[in-house]
Amino acid sequence: MDRARAIRSSGLNSHSRLAEGRQAALLFYENSTRTRMSFESALGRIGARALVLTEATSSATKGESLRDAGRNLEAMGIELIVLRHPDPDSSEYLASQLQIPVVNGGAGAGEHPTQGLYDILTLEDALGSLEGKRIAIVGDIAHSRVARSNFFGLTRLGARVVFCGPPTLVPAAWRELGAEVTDDLDQALCGSHAVMALRLQGERLGPDTPASPGEMRARYGLDPAILSKYPELFVLHPGPIMRGMELSHEVADSERSLIMKQVQSGIFVRMAVLEECFGLAAAVPGESRRREAVR
């Protein structure tokens, strides 16, 4: 987080030659706009080259395993892989099979660590210290990797997290980990400092949908009338937004929306993560001199 802030302060173009000549593969087995473009941009900002391979254009369509795909990329001299995959354990598994770093770019309904990091950076920019702050996460919690990563990061920093949605989409087991769980939107928003809306993840739902889109919009959609009762509440969303469902147009584009700031924070956080994984000690201007002074 500190590294991301230092990169932001020094400017996006101040690291343009830091990883010059280095190569990373973006191995994406699921569709993506923000994560893929953000990682590509972050790699370019530090001077590295991004090689993008999707499932549809890879030999996965011919039956090649994830392990073999990764080992082939490693053999080509690729130094780092950013993996997006529907299996929650995919990144950990691939990392165990390779000698190069594997960055989790979103693993099924498991976790999305870099998203969690930049959501937290965005919240700290808006709220300061998160110690004692209450953050509501509303919607499809059961299938959300973003909800998981945010919960672990937020609670580690002393925040309180309340999950809100229908019981079919908010596992009660979260209470055992310290989360508040409710199916009442007003109860979730009252006393909260920020709310993150999540879409209904249709691509992960089976034939027996645990909640209808109409129910989610009526009971958990955020619109100006609801937010007027909570004038200090900031609004976040990891995207993609289903406008008119979890957020109205007015809320998504309002002054209290931090959504575009989330996207901006993502570049800085991912630059910091990539620099760390490349082993670049001088990632922050002046860092080498500060370290020498400490010695």
What pLDDT, in 10s, does the model give residues 31-63? 999 999 999 999 999 999 999 999 999 999 999
Q: Does one domain contain both 225 and 272? A: no
Provide mean pLDDT across the span 61-81: 97
First to last CA, the chain: 24
Q: Is the pLDDT of residue 212 over 90?
A: no
DSSP code string of 12-42: GGGGTTTTTT-EEEEEESS--SHHHHHHHHH
Provide mean pLDDT across the span 65-91: 97
Q: Does one domain contain both 22 and 153? A: no
Q: For residue 61, what are the domain limits?
A: 2-108+267-284
pLDDT band at 13 (very low <50, low <70, confident <90, very high): confident
Q: What is the pLDDT of residues 130-170, one digit of tens each?
A: 999 999 999 999 999 999 999 999 999 999 999 999 999 99
Structure tokens at 62: 């011919």
Which of 89 and 201 is assigned the larger pLDDT?
Answer: 89
% of the chain exceeding 70 in pLDDT? 92
Q: Does one domain contain both 103 and 122? A: no
Q: Does one domain contain both 60 and 158? A: no
Half-sphere exposure of 184 (CA within 13 A, CB side): 4
Mean pLDDT rounded to a whole number for the chain:
92
Q: Does one domain contain both 81 and 129? A: no
Q: Is the pLDDT of residue 284 over 90?
A: no
Provide mean pLDDT across the span 259-271: 97
Q: What is the pTM of this model?
A: 0.91
CATH number of the structural domain spanning residue 276: 3.40.50.1370
pLDDT of residue 293: 32
pLDDT of residue 90: 97
Q: Does one domain contain both 244 and 277? A: no
* Structural domains counted in the chain: 2
pLDDT band at 209 (very low <50, low <70, confident <90, very high): low
Burial environment of residue 132 by CB neighbours within 10 A (0 to 12, 13 to 18, 19 or more): exposed
pLDDT band at 204 (very low <50, low <70, confident <90, very high): low
